[in-house]
Amino acid sequence: MKKSWLALGLTAVILAGCGTEETGNSKKTDENTETAKEETAAFPVTVTGADKQEVEIEAAPKRIVTLMPSVTEIAFELNLGDQIVGVTDNDTYPKEVNEKERVGGMELNVEKVLSLNPDLVLADISTDEKAITQIRDAGIDVLVSSEAKSIDQIYTSYELISEATGTQEEAQKDIETVKEGIAAIEEKASQIKEEDVKNVYFEIAGPPEIYSVGKNTFINEVIELVGANNVMNTEEGWPKVSEEAIIEKNPDTILLNYGWYVENATEGVLKRQGWENIAAIQNNEVFEVDGDLTSRPGPRIVQGAEQIAEAIYPDVFAK
């Protein structure tokens, strides 16, 4: 609001002080009007979500609630921040999410969502089905994105959300930026000699129940992208693994992405009984990577990939 009043004030000064600036201002007004016409022309639109449900959107959404951090980040990247009125308790980025209403975490507060009077709710295929049904029963459009199991599916999420919000042009720019970042990583990874390729174990949860990442996950793709092998790539999705299996795999590097909520996570791994003969332990190659950057399939995928790359191959990727 302050920015709007400031803009109006500056416009008034310019118009009063210099007649030649009026033409420039009129041009900007024409451009804004043209943009508004383009947005209007994009609607109504029918979009099919990952749950195979068609969503008919009559006009550009003005009040959006997002139900997954990765979806939130994509929406903000599409310059929809002003339209977003609600986010989950787990949202941490960008900083503007701190100004939004919170609608719950694993257990969504459906009443809170409805109280925000959204005209579009952006969800994920993993979002609680019962909650989605309740929101739809209240007459609110819910668009469900797929769980991004690959980098390409991140682009698909961009395209789906942008189609529903009339931001396709911005989406294509963002996708190209991500693709350029991925290509730069691939170029550096191509320098790694076959004999220098490392076997990596990526842990997303520690004892008593240990979980890792397997095939058909975007993290597995990132590990391969940076020129390494994921020792758990024979498993599917997000497997629960035994300590014996990890010891047998004997990884060269161990990565952890849960240090933000576990104190001394790296030290804990280094001191695990029976792990002392693992190459990564012997060579002190146990590293923490940012949990948000490496677990959210969204616009910061390149930063997450760079962090993983630098941890595994510092000589190749260190800036």
Domain residue ranges in the chain: 45-175, 193-317
253-256/199-205 β-pairing = parallel
Joined tokens for residue 265: 């996570």
**Same CATH fold assignment for domains 45-175 and 193-317:** yes
Which residues does 225 contact at the CB level (< 8 Å), separation at least 6?
151, 182, 185, 186, 189, 305
* pTM for the model: 0.86
pLDDT digits (tens, 9 = 90+) for 53-63: 999 999 999 99
Q: Is the pLDDT of residue 308 over 80?
A: yes
Q: Is the pLDDT of residue 103 over 70?
A: yes
Q: Is the peptide bond before 44 cis (omega within 30 degrees of 0)?
A: yes
Nearest to residue 147, comparing CAs of 68, 90, 52, 224?
A: 68
Joined tokens for residue 229: 């092998």
User: Topology of 45-175 in CATH?
Assistant: Rossmann fold (3.40.50)
Instruction: Write down the pLDDT at residue 161.
Output: 98
Mean pLDDT of 240-250: 98
Say which range, 16-25, 50-59, 143-152, 209-218, has the weakest mean pLDDT.
16-25
Nearest to residue 175, comparing CAs of 159, 186, 163, 164?
A: 159
In angstroms, rounded to a whole number, what is the distance separating the alpha carbons of residues 319 and 310? 8
In angstroms, rounded to a whole number, what is the distance separating the alpha carbons of residues 278 and 276? 6
Are 153 and 218 in contact, with CB atoms under 8 Å apart? yes
Give me the chain's average pLDDT, please: 89
Q: What is the percentage of the chain residues whose pLDDT exceeds 70?
A: 87
Which CATH number describes the domain made up of 193-317?
Answer: 3.40.50.1980
